[in-house]
Chains A and B, each alone.
Chain A
Amino acid sequence: MTAIRAAAVLVVGAILGLVIHASGLTARRGPAQATPAQLRVQLEARGHPAALGQAVPWVLLRDAQDRPVRHALPADGRPVVIWFWSCLCRCVRDCEERIVSLLERYPAERVHFFAVASNPDDSTHDIHKLRMSMGSPYVVFRDVEGATARHLGVDASASVAVLDGEGRVRYRGAIDNDLYEPTFSYIDAALEAILAGTPMKHTSAPSYGCRFPLPARAPR
Chain B
Amino acid sequence: MNIRELKIKDIDFKGMAAQAMEKAKVYSHEPLAIMKKELMTYFYTPIAYIVITAFLVVTGFFFFKDFFYFNQAEMRGFFQFLPLVLTLVVPAITMRLFHSGTIETLMTLPVTTAEAVVGKFLAATAFVSIMMAPTLIYLITIIIVGSPDPGPIIGGYLGSILLAGAYSAVGVLTSSLGRNQIIAFISGLAACFFLWLIDKITIFLPAKLAFIEFLGTDYHFRNISRGIIDSRDLVYFLSIIVISILLTTKILDDRR
Judge: A and B partners, yes or no: no
Give B contacts to A, CB under 8 Å.
Answer: none
